[in-house]
């Protein structure tokens, strides 16, 4: 192999088969195949291709420190039979993609020459920042095309896990507390609690079952609920905190929200009356959310383990939107081959 603009040119006899069968590399127009660095590593490990030279891998790592992690992600995708074409080659094949996409994925029984891609893919190291706003806009663009928005996360051991992103629109059938009902609550006698909330003893005349937790013949409100109560009677108060604003939005969506402490999140949300079913959604407060992909994977995996959807609120033009980070079906969880 020889270095060329955009990668490494492979002129071996198997070049045509690498593309025709596995969609590896891209044609150079002269009968050869141009491989990017991670494809060189994959072909060395799985297609018996020699390194470009004896010191190539060390030189590659020096110039591109993330290459070993990228190669692990590519391996996780390709070993099960998926075909992956990187964004640098998509224009030549006349396949569009969303801004930020790393590559498109085709299933094992389809090919970029003839078929549409199944998904758009991005990858991150577990220590990378979880940028919810960027990810929300990316996955919204991807899902508009009918493709899946897939994320692969790799750790220091080169273990890879797969997630799917979805714009979510959680809705329920519960009537939200009105300003009048919140105003009535504000007039009740209360006692402040150490968590920033308050206890109200006037249980019999309580105007809305959606707000407050029944405790000892009274009602206990959390700090964000108290914000909403106070804002209903005093227009001069500061703007609602993000936490209170999100809770208000969840109410407006017809959801009954309760603390999500047992699930490692801020709220668990019911679409129907309590006792009529489980809470489908776990909603995080962005200021409390993990800042990296390692923590996000843990939170999403916990939600998946209890059959719930993990949602991260995003403010878009002053409106709360929700990003879901979900575990895909078992047959679409791309991971590395087992190594001893």
Note the pLDDT tens digit of each residue in 163-193. 999 999 999 999 999 999 999 999 999 999 9
Computed over every residue of the chain, the mean pLDDT equals: 92
Task: Please state which of the ranges 62-66, 73-77, 334-338 shows the lowest mean pLDDT.
Answer: 334-338
Spatial contact of 44 and 50, defined as CB atoms under 8 Å apart: yes
At a CB cut-off of 8 Å and minimum separation 6, what does 292 contact?
Answer: 126, 127, 128, 129, 130
Grouping H, G, I as helix, E, B as strand and the rest as coil, residue 254 is: coil
Assessment of whether the complete model's pTM goes beyond 0.75: yes
Backbone angles phi, psi at 58, to 5 degrees: -65, -40
At a CB cut-off of 8 Å and minimum separation 6, what does 127 contact?
Answer: 292, 293, 294
Per-residue pLDDT band for 28 (boundaries 50, 70, 90) equals confident
pLDDT in tens, 305-318: 999 999 999 999 99
Query: Would you say residue 203 has pLDDT above 80?
Result: no
CA distance 133 to 20: 38
Question: How confident is the model at residue 48, as a pLDDT?
Answer: 87
Please state, as a whole number, how many other Cβ atoms lie within 10 Å of the Cβ of residue 205: 9
CA distance 154 to 161: 7
> In terms of Cα–Cα distance, which of 46, 114, 113, 117 is closest to 84?
117
Task: Please state which of the ranges 14-18, 47-51, 133-137 shows the lowest mean pLDDT.
Answer: 14-18
Query: Would you say residue 148 has pLDDT above 70?
Result: yes
**Taking CA 86 as the corner, what is the angle to CA 83 and CA 91, rounded to the nearest 5 degrees?**
110
Cα 259 to Cα 28, 65, 111, 277, distances in angstroms: 58, 42, 47, 16
Question: How confident is the model at residue 4, as a pLDDT?
Answer: 83
């Amino acid at each position: 192999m020889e270095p060329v603009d955009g990668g490494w040119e492979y002129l071996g006899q198997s070049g045509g088969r690498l593309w025709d069968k596995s969609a590896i590399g891209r044609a150079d127009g002269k009968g050869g195949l141009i491989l990017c660095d991670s494809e060189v590593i994959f072909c060395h490990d799985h297609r018996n291709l020699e390194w470009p030279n004896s010191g190539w891998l060390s030189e590659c790592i020096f110039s591109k420190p993330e290459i070993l992690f990228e190669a692990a992600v590519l391996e996780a995708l390709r070993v099960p039979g998926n075909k992956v074409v990187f964004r640098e080659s998509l224009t030549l094949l006349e396949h569009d993609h969303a801004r930020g996409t790393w590559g498109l994925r085709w299933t094992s029984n389809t090919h970029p020459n003839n078929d549409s891609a199944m998904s758009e893919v991005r990858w991150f190291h577990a220590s990378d920042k979880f940028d919810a706003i960027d990810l929300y806009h990316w996955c919204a663009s991807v899902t508009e095309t009918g493709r899946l928005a897939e994320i692969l996360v790799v750790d220091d051991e080169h273990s890879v896990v797969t997630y799917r992103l979805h714009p979510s629109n959680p809705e329920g059938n519960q009537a939200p507390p009105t300003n009048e009902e919140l105003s009535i609550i504000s007039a009740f006698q209360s006692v402040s609690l150490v968590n920033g909330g308050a206890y109200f003893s006037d249980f019999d005349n309580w105007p809305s079952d959606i707000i407050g937790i029944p405790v000892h013949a009274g009602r206990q409100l959390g700090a964000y609920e108290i914000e909403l109560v106070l804002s209903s009677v005093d227009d001069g108060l500061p703007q609602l905190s993000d936490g209170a604003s999100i809770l208000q939005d969840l109410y407006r969506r017809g959801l009954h929200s309760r603390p999500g402490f047992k699930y490692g999140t801020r709220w668990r949300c019911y679409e129907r009356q309590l006792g009529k079913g489980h809470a489908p959604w776990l909603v995080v407060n962005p200021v409390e959310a993990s800042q990296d992909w390692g923590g996000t994977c843990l939170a999403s995996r916990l939600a998946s383990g209890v059959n719930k959807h993990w949602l991260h609120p995003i403010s878009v033009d002053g409106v709360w939107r929700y990003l879901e980070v979900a575990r895909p079906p078992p047959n679409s969880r791309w991971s590395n081959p087992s190594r001893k």
